Amino acid sequence: MDLRTLRYCEAVARLGSITRAAETLHVAQPALSIAIKKLEDELGVTLFVRQQNKPVAPTPEGLILLRRAERLFQEVDSARRELADAQGLRTGEVRIGMPPMYGLSFFPPVMAAFNARYPGIAVSAVEGSAGGVGGMLDSGDIDLAVLESRRIRTGWRHAVIGEEEIVLAVHRGHPLAERTKVSTADLDGLPMVVFDETFLQRNVLDKRCQKSGARYRIVMQSNYVPLVVEAAAAGLGAATLTRSMVRAERMVALAFTPAETFRFNLCWLDDRYLSTANRAFRDFVLEDRREGTAEPPHPKKARGGKR
């Protein structure tokens, strides 16, 4: 049994096709089929069900092998990364996941400062819902995650790296634009552009409204942050955004009473190896926060002003 054949099996199971697996792995299909057949002979079991005009599927025995192989892949990946770390911080990769709100408000200036200090380290940033990012952290697809305090799972290490006020953003010509604050009751019947239910902003909004009995009117719903921002700026409806996302020349930010604040945390798993590059990024971000420079840009300084 060798690692290469196990990777062949993983690709076949994931893609449901020996042909597609061979194409993806840049291996001749006969060679891939022969390697899997030899492994089946070695183990004395059938690993895949092959039926004409149907996807190739792993047998129960195949699923057992694939589960073990996944752990092996993770261990081999960790070993390679540990060996790469021996070269110091001249090379490396940071794998981090975050919700769109953090990606837009906090991450770019932090990344620019980190790159200036460690130009050889590449950062792979994945955007997703809190549930999706949390799942990737648990599965090992990413090494670091940025999530709001209410989304942190038991067993994670975490540290607060930023805070943002959630406000009601309205077009400057909106009837509420002359105000500075709103209560949840003011949302009753209000046309709104909202995020879908995978977003914490939506969950918080709905809970506030349920508690007060207010019922806003959905004009548009989306999971695409720039679309929600632009729709609110165009006057389609009010939206719940972070204060740093509200550009003063286009929209007005109205504080909620009581105020709503999100606390962003950098999260990692203590029981999993964290590469030198990821540790450097973690320590850099936490140092940045302690020095008081990890706050998002002020709306009036968003176009190139200092953070």
What are the start-end ranges of the H helices in the chain? 3-15, 18-25, 29-43, 60-85, 100-105, 107-117, 130-139, 200-212, 225-233, 276-290
Number of structural domains in the chain: 3
- Flag whether 307 is in a domain: no
- Flag whether 84 is in a domain: no
**Left, alpha or beta for 179 (phi > 0: left; psi -120 to 50: alpha)?**
beta
36: Cα separation from own chain's centroid: 35
Domain boundary pick from 30, 52, 78: 78
* Closest to 256 measured CA to CA, from 297, 292, 212: 212
Range(s) of the domain holding residue 250: 164-262
Q: Look up the pTM and report it.
A: 0.64
- Flag whether 86 is in a domain: no
Residue 66 backbone phi and psi in degrees, to 5? -65, -35
**Block mean pLDDT (10 aa), the chain, length 307:** 91 93 93 94 93 90 92 83 68 88 78 91 89 91 94 92 93 94 96 93 93 96 92 96 85 95 93 87 86 44 36
